């Protein structure tokens, strides 16, 4: 049912934790299941130099957040903004259809953290206006 990559990221999630002096922090909840994901971003010159997450949720949510952090680390804030839940799920070699909403949580956590950063620093990030 679950790909090797999902199992790997669930068992050994990357970038778990907090960044105390994060430049952007996002927290989102999934209304369908009550799971919560928190994401911390460290940003220098518009590049995400560090990212950590904490997820209180199912295995797919943990695997999705782990993969999402790997995908945005080192990317510009504008490129991170373009990462969709489908891209996260594809990078995990797929999720079962009933678990696709777990990857939505990862996409939203990134956007929520970027939104926090853009508000605090008065920085424009393309596409973020739709999320706010
Ligand atoms: Fe969240 Fe499954 S409903 S753990
Ligand atoms: Fe809730 Fe996965 S079942 S995020």
Q: Per residue in 87-114, pLDDT tens?
A: 999 999 999 999 999 999 999 999 999 9
Band of the pLDDT at 130, cuts 50, 70, 90? confident
Ligand nearest to C-alpha 65: 2
Q: 102 catalytic, yes or no?
A: yes
- Tally of domains in the chain: 1
Q: Ligand 2 centre and the CA of 124: distance in Å?
A: 31
CATH at 92: 3.90.1010.10
| Residue 128: inside a domain | no
Q: What is the pLDDT of residue 132?
A: 63
Q: What is the pLDDT of residue 30?
A: 86
- Ligand 2 neighbour 102 (Cβ under 6 A): yes
CA distances from 46 to 24, 25, 28 (A): 12, 15, 23
In terms of residue numbers, what domain contains 53?
4-121
pTM for the predicted model, two decimal places = 0.93
């Amino acid at each position: 049912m679950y790909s090797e990559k999902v199992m790997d990221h669930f068992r050994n999630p990357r970038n778990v934790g907090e960044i105390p002096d994060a430049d952007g922090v996002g927290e989102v909840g999934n209304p369908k299941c009550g799971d919560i994901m928190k994401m911390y971003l460290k940003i220098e010159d518009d590049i995400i130099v560090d990212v950590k997450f904490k997820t209180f949720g199912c295995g797919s949510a943990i695997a999705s957040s782990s993969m999402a952090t790997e995908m945005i680390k080192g990317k510009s804030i504008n490129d991170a903004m373009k990462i969709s839940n489908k891209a996260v799920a594809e990078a995990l070699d797929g999720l079962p259809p009933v678990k696709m909403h777990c990857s939505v949580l990862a996409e939203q956590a990134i956007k929520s953290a970027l939104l926090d950063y853009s508000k605090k620093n008065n920085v424009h990030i393309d596409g973020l206006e739709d999320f706010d």
